[in-house]
Structure 1
Amino acid sequence: MTRILIVGGGYAGLYTAWTLERLLRRGEAKVTVLDPRPYMTYQPFLPEVASGAIEARHAVVPLRRHLRRTRVVAGAARRIDHAHRTVHAVGPDGQALTFPYDVVVVTAGAVTRTFPIPGLLDEAIGLKNVEEAVAIRDRLLTAFDRAAALPDGPERARLLTVTFVGGGFSGVEGFAETLSLATELLAYYPELRREELAFHLVEAQGRILPEVTERPGRWVVKHLRSRGGIVHLGAKLVSAVGGHVELSTGEEFDSELIVWTAGNAANPVVAKHTDLPVDTRGYLLTRPDLRLGSVDEPVPDAWAAGDDAAIPDLALGGASFTVPNAQHAVRQARLLAANVVATLRGLPTRDYEHPSLGVVATLGRGHGIFQFKRLVITGWPAWALHRGYHVLAVPTWERKLRVLLDWLPALAGRRDPASLAAVSRPREAFRRGGTPPPERSDAPTSLVA
């Protein structure tokens, strides 16, 4: 049988395998998905996972549960050697893995783009994976608990200061959702005042949300500021050493939580460790029919879709590339699978062309923005559109139902303020037993219980 290897089990990878299972005849091909995680993450839900609006497990789709005729392997690709039709990978325990193939589909996904800013890698956290979203929520809730036990002062102010760097969709949605969470948390903390919260959104450009036009972008800035958010436009992060934030504008402040969402970069495997054709940014050069290569020189048996692929946007004339979002990823994956099957059977392929359905963003519970061409909707209607669209878009009916069950009770009640930060240290209580925790040397001595 033809061996089809899918490198990456994210949104595009899952839908490619899923569609191949439906289209391939039994015995026609053997499909393998290689990914270090056993699940697909629905990234548009991560801001709401960070705010507790969605349970973390409901934002992921287990690969083995839904890919019944596909081999799923836990491993991280390290090199794609197309000349020898081989992918070299590393397994969960560090063991070397080798995967020969006849056809390769690269859907490895992009990674968070970082810069050599002092303190960034030591202090900041991304918002690319569900583990990061959970950690953001738990760290914010823990900061509230710690701040409520302290008197007014620099340490309390630092604990109640949150900084998001990056004004794209991920940054704005994450910022707005956690700001909404923090505002609602004050009902549980009578010791804390609203004016003590300091939520900073830092964007290097002069505007946020480049996916929408300028006027709606200005409205979002005004809206976030009206809710107490501090939006820094035309400002870059200069240093984050020790949690002390320094901006290019000269502003400085201490921040307990720093979230970095300043764009994506090509997966290093694709950008640096393959003989497949890539552009100057490190993205795979992809034809309109989703084969790799140029229009005149396709690369045999190599395909790509999703965030790592530079795919001409035929709906806009082909001069630009499709943007990396969910609506493109799922449609590219379905067409890619159909084209792979067509090629196996000696049939012609089809080009990918999809006009945008518009953009929609959550800005916290009851707040949102939607734009389709010149139509702009804000507030509750946009928030409802956001939820409706993504419930339809998240894979599997089982996950759609779970997300709806997360949302419905939240409409009538407050958010859950329980932090599960100790989950990252599950053996600490067992090891310590009845021994009280050590006192912090910098702990205040004048507090009265």
Structure 2
Amino acid sequence: MPKILIVGGGYAGFYTAWKLEKWLRAGEADVTVVDPLPYMTYQPFLPEVAAGSIEPRHSVVAHRRHLKKTNIITAKVTGIDHASKQATITPPVGEPYTFDYDIVVVTAGAVSRTFPIPGVADEAIGLKTIEEAVAIRNRVLTNFDKAAGLQAGPERDRLLTFVVIGGGFAGIEIFAELRSFASALIKSYPELSFEDTHFHLIEAMGRIMPEVSLPTSHWVLKNLAQRGAEVHLDTQLTSAVGGRIELSTGESFETDLIVWTAGVMANPGVVRGSDLPVEERGRLQVRADLRVGTEDEFVPDAWGAGDITAIPDLSGGGVGGYCVPNAQHAVRQGKLLAKNIVAVLRGEGPKEYVHKNMGAVAGLGIGYGVFQSGRLAITGLPAWFAHRGYHGLAMPSWERKLRVIWGWVNNFFLGRDIASLAAVEQPRAAFEEFASRPKPTVEAAPVQKAPAKAPVRRKAGSAAAPVEPKVAVETVAAS
């Protein structure tokens, strides 16, 4: 029975395994998924998680709950030697070991791409994982709590100044969601006013959201400005040392939260440790039929999909001729990849991946959204409903769909939960503060004896001289 190794359990990896379970016959293949996380993250929901509109656990899909027939290994793949069909697996506990496979599927996704700007690596946070989204939410809430106890001044301004770097879909969505979140929080903080909060988005290009038309992007800019959020176009971040933002325009201000959304890159931890072909931008080179290789030649028994790959966009709508790294492509590629693997196992030919983007939809905070399909553009409340409807149905499994939608219904009637759980990052702090500890032991110094005295001789007939008793001298260490 052939062994299929899927490297990465994100969109593409999860859907590949999910559909293989559906389409493989009993005993036809043995499937294993290796990922350092035990769940798939539905990344389009991360802005709403950061803004408190979705419960964090509802936006992830547990591998072991929904992949019943698949072997799950929670670890990292740190090497792929396809020439010998062996992968190196590094678990969180224990020594690395080799894993023999017959077919490898590389779907390890992408990570945040940064530039060597001073301070970014030390101060900024990305928006690729559920942990990052939760940390952003906790930081916003904690900063409001701190600022409420301060008088107006530089420190309060710093706590209530929020910065997003990057004006693509992810950047605009998190920026607008946080603006909506902060506006709602003001009602619960009478010590603060709307004017005390400051939002800045930094974009190096002359426009935002290239996926939508220019008029639609202008509507978004106008809407954000009306809501008290400032967008800096044609502007570059030059420094973020110590939280002090310095821009190419000469402007500067201080902040306590910098969210980085200015691009992604193929997961280097997997690509660099593999002998599979990589193109000039560091992505795995994959054909339109999702087999690793070039148009003229493919690597047998090696497949790829998702953000880690460079797959030709046969619809003609891709950037540079390749599919853009987004959820739409990753999900559809994963489904087709499973079909193609089954087809090849049964002696049939694989199909090429073709998907024409039907449109783009973005949520901009409660009640605001944009939808673009060709020349058709919808903005405001209808687009917001379209955003929630699309992503609510796109969430894998009905169990996850119901949890997300039920959470939205609860928030509609009860409002968003505004409790910060920042202390969860140091869960033992309260216990350690009051925990009893044994007193330090006191070690005594060794006993020192006084030097012996020479015997006293007395003359005959004289009175006996008093004899001093021998005394042991002991030095005790101070406690």
Q: Which residue of 1 aligns with 2:237?
A: 237
The more displaced of 92-101 and 122-131 is 92-101
Letter of the 1:362 counterpart: G
Q: Which residue of 1 aligns with 2:50?
A: 50
Q: Which residue of 1 aligns with 2:360?
A: 359
Distance 1:89 1:359 in 2: 38
Distance 1:152 1:28 in 2: 68
Q: Which residue of 2 aligns with 1:132?
A: 132
Q: Which residue of 2 aligns with 1:392?
A: 393
Per-residue deviation, 1:416 = 1.6
Per-residue deviation, 1:334 = 0.9
SS of equivalent to 2:276: coil
- Structure 2: runs of 5 or more not aligned: 437-479
Distance 1:7 1:94 in 2: 19
Letter of the 1:412 counterpart: F
* Equivalent residues of 2:78, 2:270 under 8 A apart: no
SS of equivalent to 1:312: coil
Q: Which residue of 2 aligns with 1:182?
A: 182
Per-residue deviation, 1:94 = 5.4
Q: What do the CA deviations read for 1:114-157 (whole angstroms, capped 9, x no partner)?
A: 11111111111111000000000000000000000001110000
Aligned 1:327-406 pairs, distance under 5 A:
327-406=328-407
Distance 1:297 1:80 in 2: 20
Distance 1:20 1:128 in 2: 26
Distance 1:432 1:129 in 2: 31
Distance 1:270 1:419 in 2: 35
Q: Which residue of 1 aligns with 2:445?
A: none
Distance 2:251 2:82 in 1: 49
Q: Which residue of 2 aligns with 1:202?
A: 202
Q: Which residue of 2 aligns with 1:419?
A: 420
The more displaced of 308-317 and 274-283 is 308-317
The more displaced of 79-88 and 50-59 is 79-88
Per-residue deviation, 1:95 = 2.5
Distance 1:143 1:352 in 2: 46
Letter of the 1:15 counterpart: Y
SS of equivalent to 1:157: helix
Q: What do the CA deviations read for 1:38-67 (whole angstroms, capped 9, x no partner)?
A: 000000000000000000000000000011
Alpha carbons of structure 1 residues 187 and 24: separation in structure 2 relative to 1, 3 Å: same
Per-residue deviation, 1:223 = 1.1
Distance 1:94 1:277 in 2: 30
Letter of the 1:120 counterpart: V
Aligned 1:13-52 pairs, distance under 5 A:
13-52=13-52
Q: Does 2:409 align with 1:408?
A: yes
SS of equivalent to 2:83: helix
Letter of the 2:272 counterpart: K
Q: Which residue of 1 aligns with 2:69?
A: 69
* Equivalent residues of 2:317, 2:356 under 8 A apart: no
The TM-score normalised by the length of structure 1 is 0.95
Q: Decide which structure has the larger Cα Rg and report it.
A: 2
Per-residue deviation, 1:433 = 2.2
- Structure 1: runs of 5 or more not aligned: 436-449
Distance 1:222 1:94 in 2: 54
Distance 1:95 1:299 in 2: 30
Tell me which stretches of 4 or more aligned residues in structure 1 moved more than 4 Å: none
Identity %: 60
Q: Which residue of 2 aligns with 1:99?
A: 99
The more displaced of 211-220 and 355-364 is 211-220
* Equivalent residues of 1:270, 1:282 under 8 A apart: no
Q: What do the CA deviations read for 1:273-310 (whole angstroms, capped 9, x no partner)?
A: 21111111011111111001012111101101111111
Distance 1:197 1:357 in 2: 37
Per-residue deviation, 1:413 = 3.9
SS of equivalent to 2:245: strand
Q: Which residue of 2 aligns with 1:322?
A: 323
Q: What do the CA deviations read for 1:318-357 (whole angstroms, capped 9, x no partner)?
A: 8711122222111111111111111111111111111112
* Equivalent residues of 2:143, 2:159 under 8 A apart: yes
* Equivalent residues of 2:77, 2:270 under 8 A apart: no
Letter of the 1:203 counterpart: E
Per-residue deviation, 1:269 = 3.0
SS of equivalent to 1:84: coil
RMSD after superposition = 1.3
